[in-house]
Structure 1
């Protein structure tokens, strides 16, 4: 596979074959069990074959299929460990690479979008792609002023592919659901479909990236490459090297994982507070660690000096006032055990519909395990904790599952919710120890505890009795 299949009938046929393949392998598994094989052994082999086929197809097709696969990739930490291996390997491939476009196609797009003399814009242009993703691929080049740049070229037909793929995936979302326990696949696909137009518009992406680059210029913790040139279906930005976050996940030491996790949590909250934009595609392929060296165990500077490099601003949520204060206030009230107040706030914001009556204490019990990372001075994110949460919420026999079904997620919170869950998924993949509470107190309105009575007055020199 060397190009993005453009005919809808071809893409639809490949995607439609996935649920048939799942059904076929289930029948094969039943046959093996009847033949005396261990159910656990058959189940593991079935899961592995399913993972290999699913993510092979998603990666080959790019477009919406690969975008969906990348969105799923951060949730592999919720899978039981005995079946996570096949997914982990397949998903890592989706995060970092996809089959490239032919060189002739790349040249044709550049000629059409930058002009026939497009080569005059570059001192050098590497025809071999440095990265290939869901709707475009990146080439390393040298701009005419000597700057090293990344040239992002959109696949011809990417728009049609995105719409077609996500429509097809939506038709068998129910069959894909069991792949990621505790996650409702249908709203994820619906939300990805709503973002299609933004994802394809490089002018919007350039605008968001410029805002982030300006805000984080000279920042000691975060680096965002600036935009050099933007055209229709072509985006040229400063080149950013560094170590892929996926390498830190697979090979990094404890200090390196902790530093990467802290920076990721900081970016999630600080980015929105400082720019009014929420970076909404937090899978590992969009992050690099700028270490001053060539790898997580190589000759680089100390992990304490690492910076987080961030790419791909094609999907952002525009929040000019930052995260809604309701989030921080509800978190703080929950940690303080204020069940009635939390329940009232959730009802006011539409998380509990008017037609539903719930026990405030039960709602508090549902929320507390999820926000455990905000309670401790530092929290150890790991796959075991993620699996426990997924199991607690997904098990139809659990009170948490029964209560969760009655809660509502207002549309304005949908993307915030997905990005937060995705970031937590990556933190669990890292196995990082993170001071999450520090980031929440600094960047999330309403979360910082109120000062004791009299403190504000004392600061003003007007404390009673002064």
Structure 2
């Protein structure tokens, strides 16, 4: 695919086509349900519909694909088949063509890439939802990564969100409550499509973390605009490349521990949080550091929400029922006391056990994320929520869950054994401070 459908008309046509497919699928599914259906048929139906949505969203790139990414980790209101399909939105987006790349750089930086850089690779090294990355070398010899935003992405945000909201209302209960989630996504997207803001985040994270354990790029401001971002290049292996080397358990543990420590050091400082924990944003450098290479999605959570979120860990481990109910209500997980409504009681029983499973890594000094029993527990809770397709929970869960659960999935894929002693102290101290 060589172009980006940026007009409201072109994007509206794709959304409409997707909506017709979804509507047709649901009508056929309803007819089958009248004759009797089983869970396997339901799963096939959800998977087919999700794949069709993903296919059309991949054509749209931009905001539409970012919405898919935001929903790729189960938030408790999408069928699991949708969440799994949306995970594919993290990868394999077709790049725009070379002539368009040259014209964007000329418009944004004043000259064509062959004039500005000592070398510039015309083939994109990575293509994602709102932009693609090209390797280059500056005339002073520095190797850099140049991220080019697809044309018109920022202009599509409001339109895409409105169209996507209409689409998702087809399969989410109490869909009127989606508005606050979509406002949160819109706020993040507006910041994520501002490459000057991302460059400033790169500098702040470099100042905070670059050192013995972590490596972060540096922003090259003179070769950057709101739509073109240039940063120093970091060598290293992404997760799949790392696993192909058949690493030892010691090497797996080191990679995993670096990820775990990076997450908790951010909690310790309670400043900005890197809110996009998926394998494409991290790598292991040749000298054994954790490289963090994308800073588009950076969040600062309100202190009251963040404190309550952290309190979920010790209260679940202590099985403090009264404290858990209080937290669930404050975080909008529960609507009423579980003793007052059988539906809330079923949901509470599920959440408290899922919460305990989520808190388990903090229970002992060392935890094995490669344990197949733990993987099955997490998978089982994700697939068997008693109340599906329903929007619940504080809007900030969209990104806090994306960070935390994304970390767990990352560590489970590595199969890392993690030392959790320091992290337990960090969480406890953060709760006292907030």
Q: Report if TM-score (shorter chain) is over 0.5.
A: yes
Q: Deviations over 1:359-406 (max 9, x none)?
A: 6996894543332232233143654222222245x214xxxx9xx99x
In structure 2, what is the Cα distance between the partners aligned to 1:412 and 1:79?
17
Moved more, 420-429 or 65-74: 420-429
- Asked if structure 2 preserves the Cα contact closer than 8 Å seen for 1:73 and 1:91, the reply is yes
Determine which of 439, 442, 457 is the counterpart of 2:426: 442
Determine whether 1:71 maps to 2:70.
Answer: yes
Seen in structure 2, the aligned counterparts of structure 1 residues 442 and 272 have a Cα distance that, compared at 3 Å, is: closer
* Aligned-partner SS, 1:227: coil
Partner residue of 2:363?
375
Partner residue of 2:382?
390
Seen in structure 2, the aligned counterparts of structure 1 residues 50 and 434 have a Cα distance that, compared at 3 Å, is: farther
Seen in structure 2, the aligned counterparts of structure 1 residues 327 and 27 have a Cα distance that, compared at 3 Å, is: closer
Partner residue of 1:56?
55
Seen in structure 2, the aligned counterparts of structure 1 residues 320 and 252 have a Cα distance that, compared at 3 Å, is: farther
Partner residue of 2:231?
237
In structure 1, what is the Cα distance between the partners aligned to 2:311 and 2:28?
52
* C-alpha displacement of 1:129: 1.0
In structure 2, what is the Cα distance between the partners aligned to 1:413 and 1:39?
32
Determine whether 1:423 maps to 2:407.
Answer: yes
In structure 2, what is the Cα distance between the partners aligned to 1:170 and 1:249?
38
- Asked if structure 2 preserves the Cα contact closer than 8 Å seen for 1:169 and 1:189, the reply is no
Moved more, 420-429 or 146-155: 420-429
* C-alpha displacement of 1:31: 8.1
TM-score, L = length of structure 2: 0.78
Q: Deviations over 1:215-243 (max 9, x none)?
A: 222232x2211112232311110112322
Considering only aligned residues, what root-mean-square deviation do their CA atoms show, in Å?
4.2
TM-score, L = length of structure 1: 0.73
Seen in structure 2, the aligned counterparts of structure 1 residues 332 and 127 have a Cα distance that, compared at 3 Å, is: same
- Structure 2: 5+ residue runs without aligned partners? none
In structure 2, what is the Cα distance between the partners aligned to 1:329 and 1:30?
42
Partner residue of 2:15?
15
* C-alpha displacement of 1:139: 0.8
Seen in structure 2, the aligned counterparts of structure 1 residues 124 and 444 have a Cα distance that, compared at 3 Å, is: farther
Determine which of 249, 255, 258 is the counterpart of 1:263: 258
Determine which of 351, 354, 358 is the counterpart of 2:331: 351
- Asked if structure 2 preserves the Cα contact closer than 8 Å seen for 1:136 and 1:154, the reply is yes
In structure 1, what is the Cα distance between the partners aligned to 2:179 and 2:241?
31
* Aligned-partner SS, 1:19: helix
Seen in structure 2, the aligned counterparts of structure 1 residues 127 and 176 have a Cα distance that, compared at 3 Å, is: farther
Seen in structure 2, the aligned counterparts of structure 1 residues 65 and 117 have a Cα distance that, compared at 3 Å, is: closer
Determine which of 128, 133, 155 is the counterpart of 2:150: 155
- Asked if structure 2 preserves the Cα contact closer than 8 Å seen for 1:139 and 1:152, the reply is yes
Determine whether 1:215 maps to 2:208.
Answer: yes
In structure 2, what is the Cα distance between the partners aligned to 1:358 and 1:130?
51
Partner residue of 1:146?
141
Seen in structure 2, the aligned counterparts of structure 1 residues 145 and 273 have a Cα distance that, compared at 3 Å, is: farther
Greater C-alpha radius of gyration: 1
Seen in structure 2, the aligned counterparts of structure 1 residues 346 and 385 have a Cα distance that, compared at 3 Å, is: closer
- Asked if structure 1 preserves the Cα contact closer than 8 Å seen for 2:281 and 2:293, the reply is yes
- Tell me the matched-pair count: 413
Partner residue of 1:455?
none
Determine whether 1:134 maps to 2:129.
Answer: yes
Determine whether 1:332 maps to 2:326.
Answer: no
- Asked if structure 2 preserves the Cα contact closer than 8 Å seen for 1:245 and 1:284, the reply is yes
Determine which of 90, 93, 98 is the counterpart of 1:98: 93
In structure 2, what is the Cα distance between the partners aligned to 1:165 and 1:336?
44
- Asked if structure 2 preserves the Cα contact closer than 8 Å seen for 1:153 and 1:233, the reply is yes
In structure 1, what is the Cα distance between the partners aligned to 2:310 and 2:44?
44
Determine whether 1:318 maps to 2:309.
Answer: no
